[in-house]
Structure 1
Amino acid sequence: MARHGSWEEGLPARRLEHADPVELPPPDVWPRTVPAVEQVLAHGVDLARCTVLVGENGSGKSTLVEALAMAVGMNAEGGSTGAAHRTHASESPLHEWLRVVRDPGAPRWGYFVRAETMHGLFTYLDTSRADSPWSRDPLFHGLSHGESFVALLGTRRFRGEGLFVMDEPEAGLSFSAQLHLVAELTEMARRPRTQVVLATHSPVLAAVPGAHLLELGEHGIRPSAWEELDLVAHHRGFLDAPRRYLRHVVDDLDD
């Protein structure tokens, strides 16, 4: 894949590739069985100032963004490179097989948020707030899930330079909140030495202006334009004619 931008941009994660000479397990061992993962191990993948991964469940989106976050030292369950909370170890070993190619002088600060462990992250932030530099944080558990995420974006964690990795951040967000997130992501990606990488099922988040879109599937990974994404086509088709889709999953739906 072609590089995006110049090496002078100071991106924290210019490229993700196999950490040769790290030995890999056999190809029939997960997550090597995922075509997108195997493609990254074989050929690497270049990342832009804003990269959006889309694809069906099981296509490898979350596995890759998790591995990226962990490979640069972020906590597997969300948080910064300094976070240490832990509930249940479920991450893949992929981060141990990969290396992140950084631009010279790129910042090492980063933050990882993922939908499936957001509750644990907010618990960690609420219980450690008195002893942290983020003592002005709101009590996240006093807010709804969507409100908590928007409030987290409003803290100083997301105001500086660095690598911001998000896994399905649209979970719990209304349409208007997703639009707000698109605006935030756009502003973040325009800062010097700042990079955003996210995985999503949302056609709204995939529409971040200037984002490099990567579609994952049985084919592996391929760059795509927003209007060519299966994700967009399916949402458009459903909104145009919901019954055309529902009749395949609802047995007693009248024609």
Structure 2
Amino acid sequence: MQIEGAGAVVYGGASGLGEATARRLAAEGAHVVVADLAEERAEALASEIGGVGVAANVLDEASIQRAIDAAAEAPRGVRLSVVCAGLGTPTKLLTRKGPTPFDAFEQVIGVNLLGTINAMRLTAQAIAAQEPEDGERGVLIQTASIAAYDGQIGQVAYSASKGGVVGLTLPVARELAAQLIRVVTIAPGLFETPMLAGLPQEAQDSLGASVPHPARLGKPAEYADLVEHIVTNPMLNGEVIRLDGSLRMAPR
């Protein structure tokens, strides 16, 4: 699918992987809607790249719909969504004080999994209403994590939520094939994102050195590279792509 002139919503688009994706899609000529809880950052980035910033919570249908409506103003209508919104709050099953409070699991799984489904279902409806171009209507791209496969101690909710995103990819791709919509998920490893930026530099360097090759943290622009390729390669569908430098996470 061509990117130029396409309406694209990037959920969680104001920072990290989402910001890099928004910048890349805008550079390729998309009409980008930066949808994020951080409204001021979303609007500032959108102003910089010639897009639209919208305050959006992936668990709130009305705010997602506002973002989709803004993307519908594109010359070719809504064609693309990239879900980067998520939480990485650590959770163990048990703590020294007893079981981890249930709402800690609800919050992470709610945003990461149910929020992804919410964004997908509403954007898919908008894309399905478009006229096909070169045999397809659009693409849904989600963000999982290698924690879906080798989650560490303290990642109970996070791994469960990302495992859910991995698990829904194929059935949704099969369902939406009738609407000529492709569905692909990216499972990143360790990347230079706000989630890791709070760590001391020594800790970041150590994490980067754990990656077999290249022995460094991934760059958000490399995630955006893959998004661009997924959009433009019509045979990529129903797949989860690990983007991790062959990293397999240790237990802790």
TM-score if structure 1 supplies the norm length? 0.34
Q: Higher RCO, 1 or 2 (CA under 8 Å, sep at least 6)? A: 1
Which of the pair is proportionally richer in helix? 2
